[in-house]
Amino acid sequence: MGVPYRWQWRIDRWKHAMRGFFGGGEQQPRPKICPACGALVGIHATRCHECGTRLTFSMAALSKRFAGFFGGRAPVTTALLIINILMFGVSVVATMQAGEAGGLRILWGLNGEVLYRLGSSYGPAIFLGRQWWRLVTAMFLHGGLIHIGFNMMVLLDIGPVVEEVYGSPRFLFLYTVAGATGFLLSSLRGHLSVGASGAILGLIGLMIAITTRRGGLSMHALRSRLVSWVVSIFVFGFLLSGVDNWAHFGGLAAGFGLGKVIADRTPVNAAEQKTAYALGWIAAIMILVSFAFMILHFRDPLS
């Protein structure tokens, strides 16, 4: 019986990977594609003859490898989902070690000290303790299973759409800036806060901005649904305790403002592509550095 095409393609890839692993089956060199401008370059070229991008080590090349590792059309959304789930697992384990994860506490009651040590947003720590990294790490923490479940459901619904519009590098930058802005506004109010909802409201703000720049009945209908959704979120935030509407508003406003400034399309030339990759790597480095500071300060005494 014949093997379906998709499985034959997978088998061929596995065979190629195994040959490469064991050093056999030498392959003929093939032309390369520039990761920045998409031009076809020579077999032995190290730079693109069109835009000058280095083909082996550059922001564009690293970004392509990152996207290939996570696969799919929305690799950054997938990466954000994984990081959020991993950090929730760390939070649960740390709460269990503190003896406070019994019963239904996992639904919405993780240990506050654990979340603080893992990088929750808190005004005095940020402004007096100069712990600015909390504006970023707080985006990847959640207070319970219900909290992360709802946020990740919305992220998976909206994230791929926005990522496809702006491209993965700029999407990461927009997501990070919107989330950090939301927590900056929240920290000005002195709140102790965690969650991805500020960044997610930033994505909704971006989508609202897109609908205001494009005409047509479909855009008008989409804008009406988005605005209704935002109103519902804020109404629930006022009715329920523990919801940080300031972080929501900050993320929403930042997303809408960025959506008005940044063109709602993927880069169209090498220069725009390089700028997009630079923004993406700035955001990635911000995240990595913030987590590094969180680890360094994890065991600091609480004041």
Query: Given a cut of 50, is residue 250 above it in pLDDT?
Result: yes
CATH 1.20.1540.10 fits 60-67+74-296, yes or no: yes
3-state helix, strand, coil in the chain (%, to 5): 65, 5, 30
Distance CA 118, CA 126 (A): 14
Annotation says 248 is catalytic: yes
Q: Report the mean per-residue pLDDT for the chain.
A: 82
Q: How far is CA 303 from CA 126, 129, 130, in A?
A: 13, 10, 14
Residue 168 designated active-site: no
* Mean pLDDT, rounded, for 155-159: 91
58, 121, 168, 197: the active-site residue: 197
- C-alpha distance across the termini of the chain, in Å: 70
Which residues share a beta bridge with 229?
Answer: none
Alpha helices in 33-118, H assignment, sequence order: 59-70, 75-97, 105-108, 112-117
Tell me the whole-structure pTM to 2 decimals: 0.79
**Strand locations in the chain, DSSP E?**
32-33, 40-41, 121-122, 192-193
Catalytically annotated residue among 248, 290, 297, 303: 248
Candidate from 4-13, 222-231, 274-283, 289-298 with smallest mean pLDDT: 4-13
Contacts of 189 (CB under 8 A, 6+ apart): 123, 246
Distance (Å, rounded) from C-alpha 181 to C-alpha 29? 47
* Residue appearing with tokens 């060199």: 29
Extract the tokens encoding 292: 């590094």
